[in-house]
Amino acid sequence: MIKEKIVDEMKYFYCDETDEWFPQYKDENNLTYELQLPQFVYYPLVELDEEEEPDYQLSMYGRHRLEFLEEHRHATYQMLLVKGLWEHLIEVDKTCCQMEDRLMEQMSKSEGITEELKHSDMLEWVGRRNNLKQKVREIIHHEYIYI
């Protein structure tokens, strides 16, 4: 449990390991930094303005990249908040969608998932196509999302 207190409009956080209180602070650019425990690293507190958000609707890939950065790459996430998180997410999302289309087309040809199969045995075609889609998504997540 993280203890905190406010003294003279300044928030302080208590660390059990060192038995000390650590403050938030502001730098010369008026950014507020907060200590993240247990790493003992100060991260900037940055919020996105609703107006900065573009009209682009993120697909599954953009949302998964955002979740991955928030949960597993906190420092990168904070840096991107300052430098342009939405631009990064849109770029990753578009790249992944293009890669999915290209891989589906190439792998469908190589595995014999053709229109003839679709007309002759619809269930077989659907099963193989769904299996292929899962393979492609695994490749994309491994190559673009979880890096």
Instruction: Tell me what pLDDT residue 102 has.
Output: 96
- Residues 44 and 31: beta-carbon distance below 8 Å: yes
- Residues 68 and 145: beta-carbon distance below 8 Å: yes
Instruction: Tell me what pLDDT residue 117 has.
Output: 93
Q: pLDDT 10s per residue in the chain (147 long)?
A: 456 666 555 566 666 666 666 666 556 666 666 666 566 666 666 665 545 556 789 999 999 999 999 999 988 998 898 888 999 999 999 999 999 999 999 999 999 999 999 999 999 999 999 999 999 999 999 999 998
How far is Cα 117 from Cα 121, in angstroms, rounded to an integer?
Answer: 6
Taking CB atoms within 8 Å and a gap of at least 24, the contacts of 87-92 are 89/58, 89/62, 89/65, 90/54, 90/56, 90/58, 90/62, 92/61, 92/62, 92/65, 92/144, 92/145
Instruction: Tell me what pLDDT residue 38 has.
Output: 60
Q: Which two tokens stand for residue 4?
A: 């905190």
Instruction: Tell me what pLDDT residue 140 has.
Output: 96
How far is Cα 28 from Cα 106, in angstroms, rounded to an integer?
Answer: 53
Instruction: Tell me what pLDDT residue 56 has.
Output: 84
Which single residue is written with the structure tokens 């003279």? 8
Packed helices 85-110 and 122-140: angle between N→C axes, nearest 10 degrees? 140
* pTM score: 0.64
How far is Cα 31 from Cα 28, in angstroms, rounded to an integer?
Answer: 7
Instruction: Tell me what pLDDT residue 147 has.
Output: 85
Instruction: Tell me what pLDDT residue 75 has.
Output: 87
How far is Cα 95 from Cα 35, in angstroms, rounded to an integer?
Answer: 35
